[in-house]
C-alpha cells in the first residue's frame, strides 16, 4: 500500500483511507478496527453495536505477526437526511445507519 509509512499505526492507516475516499464522507465519523488471530477459527469480532444501537467507538489495532490472520474493519455512521416519510432505516431512531467494510487475510511469513 503506497503512501503509508512503516510501521503503519491506526492513525496512519485512517489518514490513508480518508485520502482515498470521496468528500462525501466525514473522516471524523470513520473508525478503524484491526484484529489478529493465530487461525481463522480463532477469530472473534466484537459487534461494536448493542441492542439499543449505541455504537462502541473503542477500536483495537493489532496488525499481528508473521502468519497471523488479520481482519480489518472500517465503520462509518452514515447520517440519514430523509427519514420523515415513514421510512427510517436508522438504528433505534438514531437517524444514522452503520456501514461496515471488512477484509480478512493471512500475513505473509516474513
Q: Which residue has the higher pLDDT, 54 or 92?
A: 54
Measured in degrees and rounded to the nearest 5, phi and psi for residue 37 equal -145, 165
Measured in degrees and rounded to the nearest 5, phi and psi for residue 4 equal -110, 125
Q: What is the pTM of this model?
A: 0.80
Query: What is the per-residue pLDDT across 1-43, written as a single tens digit (0 to 9) for each?
Result: 555 545 789 999 999 998 888 777 888 889 999 999 999 999 9
pLDDT at 77: 85
Q: Greatest CA span in the chain, whole angstroms?
A: 54
* Mean pLDDT of the region 79-95: 67
Q: Which residue has the higher pLDDT, 64 or 51?
A: 64
Query: Dihedral of the CA atoms 4, 78, 49, 68 (nearest 10)?
Result: -20
- Sheet strands (E) in 49-95: 69-79
Do the beta carbons of residue 10 and residue 34 sit within 8 Å? yes
Would you state the cell numbers that stand for residue 25, as one nine-digit string?
A: 464522507
Q: Would you call 15 helix, strand, or coil by DSSP?
A: helix
Amino acid at each position: 500500500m503506497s503512501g503509508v509509512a512503516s510501521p503503519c499505526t491506526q492513525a496512519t492507516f485512517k489518514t490513508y483511507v480518508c485520502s482515498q475516499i470521496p468528500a462525501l464522507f466525514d473522516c471524523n465519523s470513520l473508525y478503524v478496527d484491526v484484529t489478529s488471530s493465530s487461525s481463522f477459527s480463532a477469530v472473534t469480532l466484537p459487534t461494536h453495536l448493542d441492542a439499543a444501537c449505541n455504537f462502541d467507538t473503542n477500536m483495537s489495532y493489532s496488525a499481528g505477526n508473521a502468519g497471523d490472520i488479520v481482519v480489518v474493519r472500517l465503520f462509518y455512521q452514515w447520517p440519514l437526511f430523509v427519514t420523515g416519510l415513514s421510512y427510517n432505516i436508522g438504528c433505534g431512531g438514531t437517524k444514522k445507519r452503520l456501514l461496515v467494510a471488512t477484509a480478512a487475510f493471512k500475513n505473509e511469513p516474513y
